[in-house]
Structure 1
Amino acid sequence: MKQQQGFTLVKVMLLGGMASVVVFASLKEGVVQERLSGNFQKDINARLVAEQGIREYRQRLEQSLINNPTSVAQLVAGVSTTGDGAINDSRFNISVTTSGNEFSVESLGQRYGEHANHRLVARFELQPAPKASIFQNAVTGCKGVNLSGSGAVDSYDSSKGTYEETKSNDGDVHTVVGDADVVLSGHSPIKGDVQASGIVYLKGSSPILGDVRSNTGVDISPSSSGIRVEGNVYSRGFFKHRGGKITGYVRAMGDAQMEWGAEILNQQGDAFDIQYAGSGQFKDTGLQLQDGVHYSDPRFRVQDLVVEPVKVYDPDSPDYDPAKPNKECDPLALPFNMNSIIDPNNQYTDLQVGARQILHFKPKQAVYERNGTHVYVAKEKAIYLFQGIDQNLGAATERTQLAFPFKSLKLGSDGQIKVSGGDVIWLVDGDMTLSGNTQIWIEKGSSLTVFTTGKVSIGASAKVVAEQEGLTESGLPVFSVYSSFDEPNGFVFSGASSLYAAIYSPLTTILLNGSGQFYGTVRGASITGTGGTGIHFDQALKNAGIGVQPPSGGKPKLIFKGWHYKPYEVEDQEASN
C-alpha cells in the first residue's frame, strides 16, 4: 500500500475557502439589497408623507376660506404648517411661496428624522369672492329721482378713453326703497334703463333709451308721435300710455290703459305686443292691435302674469342684517359706522383757504405753497371701508392709513388746494364749502377721498379738476365723497364748471341744479336735477376697490393649478438650521 500525500485535503480546503468567499459575497450583497430596499421603502414613505402634508394643508386652507380672505396672506394666516404622518416616525413641514393670488405649497415629508426626505410642491390660486362695487348706476335715488332739466343721463368709460370717444347708453337710473318714484320731465333723456320701486313718470318729451321696470306703475304723459321708451316696459302695477311710441313690448300685472296716438311697436317681434293681468282700456282701434286683433281681446289678458320685481329694502328678508338696516340704499352702512371714522367728541379745527392761498396736500402732510409753511400732518386712522386697499402714501413699504381731520372746510375767493403724491383722505366733521373762483386740483396718479358729517356745497365758479379721471392704481376714485348727513339738501352742485366725482350720501337730498356737467356717479336719498346739468356715468367706477360688496352666496375659491416633486437638498436643510 502506497503512503497518502494529503492533496485531497488541500483541494477540499481550497474549495471550502472559495465557497466561503462566495457565501460571504452573497451575504454582503444581500445586506446591501436589504439596505437598498429599506432606503427605498423609507423614501416611498417620505413621499407619501409629503403627499399627506399637501392633502391636510389643503383641507386646512379650505376651512380658512370660511373667513372670506381677500389675499393669500389672509388665507394662510394662522393655518398650521406641521403635522405627523400616518406612518410611524414620520412628519411633514409646509412652506408657502406667494406671487399675487397664486402661491406654491411645498411639503417636506420625513421618515426617521432626516434619514428619508422628500419634497412635493403643489400650486394653487386664490380666487376671492366675486365682488360688486356700490357704483353700478349713474343715478341711485333711494327714495326718488326727479330730473326736470335738459341734461342727459348716459355713460362712458374713462379707462378706455374720453367721454366723446367712449360714450354709450348705460346711464341707468334706480330707486330702491319703498314706493320711490322716478319723475322725468322737461327734456332729460335717459340713455339707459330705469328701475323704480315706485312709479315711473315720463313727462314732457323725455325719452328713455332702455328698459323701464317698476314695482308700482308706469305713467307716460301725452306727447307727439316720437319715441318715449326705446326698450320694453315691465310693471308690477298699472300701465298708462297717453302718447308716443314704445319700441319693445309691455308687461303689466295691473290695469292697462292706452289713449289715442299711443303705440307699441314690438320691433323685437315678440308673440305679444302687450300682456296685462287687470282690466284693459284701449281707445285707438287703428294703432292698438296686433295681427288684426285689438289689445282688448282676451288673448292679451293673462291673470297669472308675473313680472320680476325691482329689488327693494325688505326687513323681513332672510339675509337682513341689523347692522345694515337699509342695505339697499346704504350697503356700506356708513351712518351706522361713521363714529368709527370721525370721533363725535373730537377736537378738530376748521380749515379755511382764502384769497391767493395755495395749500398743497400730500398723503402725509399739507403745506402752503408760497412760503412752505408746514401746516397739517395726517393722523393715523383705520377706516373700515379701506379694508383690502393699500393706500398710496408715496412709499411702497408703508401700509398705515393716514387722514387729515377738520371740523369744517371752506375754500373761498380764489383759494386753491392741490392734491398729489398718492391717496389723500379728509375727515370733515362739519360742512365742506367751495365757493367763488376756487379750485381743487388732483394730479394724475393721486386721489382725494372725503368723509363728512355735514353739508357739501360746490357752487359759483368752484372747480374740482382731476388730471386723470377714473380710478387710481390703488382702486380708488380720483375724487369721492362719503356723507352721513341726514338733513335736506346735503349735497349741492350748482356751479357752471364740470365736476368728476363719486358721491355716496344715502340719507340726504342731492341737488344738481347748475349748468356744468357731472361725470362719475351719484347715490342719495333723493336726486333732483334741474337746469342743464347732465349726468355721465363712468363705467370704470364699477371696478372701484372701496366699498365693494360680495354678492349673496359669493365665496372665495381655492383652485388647484398643478404639482411636481422636488429633489431634497441637504445644503438647504443645513442652511435652515
Structure 2
Amino acid sequence: MKQQQGAALVIVMALLSGALMLGMSGMQSALIDERLAGNYRASVQSQMSGEGFIAGAVSDENNDSLTEFLKNSLADLDDGESKTLSEDELIALSGNRLSEADSNLIVNVSRSGDQITLEAWGAQAGAKAPTVITFNASGAAQNFRSPFLACRQVLLNGSSLAASCSSNDTVCSQDPAGFISADSQTYNLLYNLGSEQGDRITLDGDADAYGNVRSQRDIILTGSSVITGNAYAQGAIIHGGGTRVWGEEVITKSSPQRCDLYLDSQGLSVEVENLKQQYGDSVGNIKMGTDKRRQWSLTPEGLFFYDEETRSSGSPVFSQCRFFDLPCILNFFVNFFRGLLGFNICNNNYVSCDSSQVGWTEHSQVIDNTIVVNNLTLTGNPTFIVSGLESDSQANPAQLRMVVEGEFNVSGGGRNGLVVEDNAHLELFVKGKTELGSNFQLGDTKPTRAGAPPLTINSSYSGVGDAVAVNSGSHLVGNIYAPGGKVSINSSRVTGSIWAQEIDALNDSRIIYNEENVVADSQAIETETAGESGNGFNWQWR
C-alpha cells in the first residue's frame, strides 16, 4: 500500500514537473512572440519612414530639389563613395518637408558611376529596414528618349542622313543649313537600347547623323560616314580612317535601360482592342482608287466615297475634279459640306454639276472619331482625304482613328494618295504590314497639328519582314510606332519620329525630326516615360 502511494506521489510529481515545464515553455514562447512582434513593428515602422521620405523626394512637387541634389551628388561624391546625409541636407533634399515623424530618419547616399543610390530608414528600436532607390543621373543630354529609338539596331547607309529641325509653317527642308546643331539638341538623335551582342548603331557609306548618337552596345562607322555630335557607347566605338566623329567618343558604364519601358507591344494591343470594342465589327476591306471609287473622305461624320457609277436623285451634286490636284481636292471637300448645309455648289470653276451624276455616298459610320476596317488599300489613282469639320482647326484638329485589322498598302499613280487637311490628325492602328509607295506624299501639308504631326502609324506587326516600309521616294510627315517590328525607309523620307525594334534608313533616305512635334509615343521629347521621374533622371525602386 505504501509502495502504491509512493508510486502515485512520483507520478503526481512528474505530472507537476511536466506542467511546470510546459508553463515555462509557454511563457518563453509568449515572450518570444512578443519580442518578434515588437521587432516586426519596429521593422515596419523603419521601412515606412524610409518609404515616406523617398516618396516625397521623388514627387513632382519636389522635382527641383531632387534634381539639384543629384547634380551635387555627382559633383561631390567620388565613384564608390557613400555618406550619411546631415539634417540640413535632409531638409534640402525633402524641399523643407521634414516633420517630427522624421526625427529618427537616416538617409545614406552612394555613387557608382553615373548611378546615385539613396537608402532611407527610420531608426526605431535599432531596426533597419531601408527603402532603396537608384537614379541614373547621367544628365539631360544622356536621357533615354530619342526621336529615332530602336531596341536592337539602327542602320543608316548610302547617302542617308538623320537630323532634327524646327518648323511650324512648312515641312522642314533637307538642307543641312536648317538642321539643329548637336550642341543645341537636348536629346540623343539616334538611340539603340539593345545591349546584347550584335545590337548596334551602324553608319555606312556616306551616311550622316547630325546630332548625338548613343548605344547600349556598339557604334560602328564605315566608309566615309560622319557623326556631327558625340558618340556614347557601352560596348565599343569602331570606325575606320574615312569616318569621323566631330564630338567626343565616350564609353559609358551604367545599367542598361529596359526597352519595354518605351516600346510596349502589350499596351498597344490593349489600346487596339479597346477601340474595337468601342466601335464594333469591322466594316470590311476598303479599296480606294478603283475606276468607280477613286476618291474617298474620312471625317468625324463618316467614311464617304465618290461614286461615279450609281445614279442618284435629289439636289445637284458634283463630279470628280477635271485635274487631280490639291486645290481641287480640297475644294471638293469644302463644297461637300457646304452642300450638306444647303449652299449652291454649282458656281465653281473646278467642278461640273449634273443632277444625273452621283456625288459623295456614305460607306460607313464613324463612332467617336473611330472606324475599324480589315485591309486598307490605296491603288490605281487614289485620293483619300482626311478632314475635320468647319469648327476644327490646325490648333484644335479633329482626332480621327482608323483600326486596320489587316494590311495597309499605298501604291499606284498620282501624287496625293493621302491628304490630311490642316484641321485633322489621323492615327492608324495597323495589325499587319504597312507599305507606302511613291504616291504617298505628305510634304505639302502643314507640319504640325497642335504639337503633333498630321499622321501617326501604330504597327502591331511582329512577324518576318518589315512592319512598316516607306518606299520609292515617298514622304511620310508623321510618327511611326512599331514596338514589335522593323521599320525600313528605302530612298524615301520621314519627317517625324520612329520607335521600333529595328530602324533602317537605306540608300538615299532622310529621317528628320521636327522639334515642334511629339515623338512616336505621342509625348514631347522632354517628357519622361513610365519608370522615370519628372526631372530627367531615370530611377527604379529596389
**Aligned match of 2:380:** 413
**Aligned match of 2:264:** 330
**Aligned match of 1:293:** none
1:358 partnered with 2:376:
no
- The structure 1 residue matched to 2:149, chosen from 136, 140, 149, is 140
Larger helix proportion, structure 1 or 2? 2
Deviation string 1:197-233 (CA, Å, 9 cap, x unpaired) is 111001111110111111111111x224xx6111111
Give, in whole Å, the separation in 1 of the partners of 2:238 and 2:201.
Answer: 10
- The structure 2 residue matched to 1:520, chosen from 464, 487, 496, is 496
Superposed counterparts of 1:53-202, under 5 Å: 137-159=146-168, 162-164=171-173, 166-169=178-181, 170=185, 172-179=189-196, 180-202=199-221
**Aligned match of 2:421:** 443
What TM-score do the two structures reach when normalised by structure 1? 0.50
Give, in whole Å, the separation in 2 of the partners of 1:465 and 1:182.
Answer: 28
Give, in whole Å, the separation in 2 of the partners of 1:543 and 1:142.
Answer: 16
Contact preservation (8 Å) 2:303, 2:366: no
Matched residues, number: 318
- The structure 2 residue matched to 1:349, chosen from 271, 284, 292, is 284
Per the TM alignment, residue 476 of structure 1 is displaced from its structure 2 partner at its CA by 3.7
Give, in whole Å, the separation in 2 of the partners of 1:543 and 1:463.
Answer: 20
SS in structure 2 at match of 1:540: coil
Give, in whole Å, the separation in 1 of the partners of 2:215 and 2:245.
Answer: 15
Per the TM alignment, residue 446 of structure 1 is displaced from its structure 2 partner at its CA by 1.6
Per the TM alignment, residue 442 of structure 1 is displaced from its structure 2 partner at its CA by 1.2
Q: Residues 135 and 212 from structure 1, CA distance in 2 versus in 1: closer, same or farther, beyond 3 angstroms?
A: closer
SS in structure 1 at match of 2:461: coil
1:313 partnered with 2:258:
yes
Give, in whole Å, the separation in 2 of the partners of 1:149 and 1:543.
Answer: 25
Deviation string 1:389-448 (CA, Å, 9 cap, x unpaired) is xxxxxxxxxxxx321110110000101101112332111111000001251011122211
Contact preservation (8 Å) 1:441, 1:465: no
Q: Residues 347 and 427 from structure 1, CA distance in 2 versus in 1: closer, same or farther, beyond 3 angstroms?
A: closer
**Aligned match of 1:233:** 249
**Counterpart residue identity of residue 412, structure 1:** T
Deviation string 1:260-312 (CA, Å, 9 cap, x unpaired) is xxxxxxxxxxxxxxxxxxxxxxxxxxxxxxxxxxxxxxxxxxxxxxx456x52
Moved more, 171-180 or 358-367: 171-180
**Aligned match of 2:437:** 459
1:205 partnered with 2:224:
yes
Q: Residues 377 and 461 from structure 1, CA distance in 2 versus in 1: closer, same or farther, beyond 3 angstroms?
A: closer
Give, in whole Å, the separation in 2 of the partners of 1:144 and 1:223.
Answer: 23
Contact preservation (8 Å) 1:455, 1:490: yes
Alpha-carbon RMSD across the aligned residues, in angstroms, is: 3.2
Give, in whole Å, the separation in 2 of the partners of 1:172 and 1:378.
Answer: 41
**Counterpart residue identity of residue 413, structure 2:** N
**Counterpart residue identity of residue 359, structure 1:** W
**Aligned match of 1:511:** 488
**Aligned match of 2:313:** none
Per the TM alignment, residue 140 of structure 1 is displaced from its structure 2 partner at its CA by 1.2
**Aligned match of 1:374:** 361
Give, in whole Å, the separation in 2 of the partners of 1:214 and 1:468.
Answer: 37
**Aligned match of 2:234:** 215
**Counterpart residue identity of residue 244, structure 2:** R
SS in structure 2 at match of 1:341: helix
Per the TM alignment, residue 498 of structure 1 is displaced from its structure 2 partner at its CA by 2.5
Moved more, 340-349 or 197-206: 340-349
Contact preservation (8 Å) 2:153, 2:192: yes
Contact preservation (8 Å) 2:60, 2:534: no
**Counterpart residue identity of residue 197, structure 1:** Q
Contact preservation (8 Å) 2:203, 2:225: yes
SS in structure 1 at match of 2:518: helix
Per the TM alignment, residue 377 of structure 1 is displaced from its structure 2 partner at its CA by 3.8
Per the TM alignment, residue 352 of structure 1 is displaced from its structure 2 partner at its CA by 0.3
Structure label with greater radius of gyration: 1
Contact preservation (8 Å) 2:159, 2:509: yes
1:494 partnered with 2:503:
no
Give, in whole Å, the separation in 2 of the partners of 1:375 and 1:517.
Answer: 34
Deviation string 1:475-528 (CA, Å, 9 cap, x unpaired) is 4421110111111311001122322121011111111112x3221111111011
**Aligned match of 1:403:** 370
